[in-house]
Structure 1
């Protein structure tokens, strides 16, 4: 009976891995990857957001966040594709807090986090060609969301999203 020594086993496993990797590289991927970013047009902080489960950064009020890798979308866009956007807001991001790391700070945060709000929306996936530069999520007043797949990032004049960065929350939000 013959046994394989450690070197032979490593060579055999390495060869199997190469065959598997070569098999994976054959053919075209069914998905495109692009950076995931966001623009916050509101006075609340975006603590986090997700698009179809892909995590995005936190975004300060009236600010930008991005460059998170990656959002994966179907290689071929087709009408009717939807995205699920989920996010959490802090409506009072500039609340005065006790010094960080103290018992007072921890008690403050317990009370402060009660005001956090979770939101979700289903939005249409805008058309894109054979490449995806980025998926840019815009958070608007009244918990509305717009999404762009354009290679022109906000606030470029060529960006498809034209809303101003500092938008006011209306007294009453329409449905």
Structure 2
């Protein structure tokens, strides 16, 4: 007489449960906790763009810049420069920016458009026609390039007769 084969009640009957050690369980719990923290930070907006405003003064000018302090690739970011000169602007305004900083961005352009623009090895010089009143606002419509990884430091100055009279320095950090 031949022995009869055992017929399983389920296709899972012969699947062994893997023994879990306490170390593996702690590791798994830690990984789940870390992912939960990351998801929670993202849900409340702490992993997006963090903008700040910085100020400087010199040569009769007051500068205020709102820029991305922390950002991620692919996101729209603010970069808005306000220059105030009590008494108003009688001549065109020359704004000088470090060219390397703007390699972080894909741009849609400046508002207002400079009436003239030139550059040297490290800086871009934009000439803006004098606005009415005592305030000039220069906006940069941009987003962080998808290929940008680390961030960059830069500066913006108002120049009169080839001399920087007021300068702001700033740094944008990029996170994954």
TM-score of Structure 1 vs Structure 2, range by shorter chain: under 0.3
Structure number having the greater strand percentage: 2
TM-score by length of 1: 0.28
Larger Rg: 2
TM-score by length of 2: 0.28
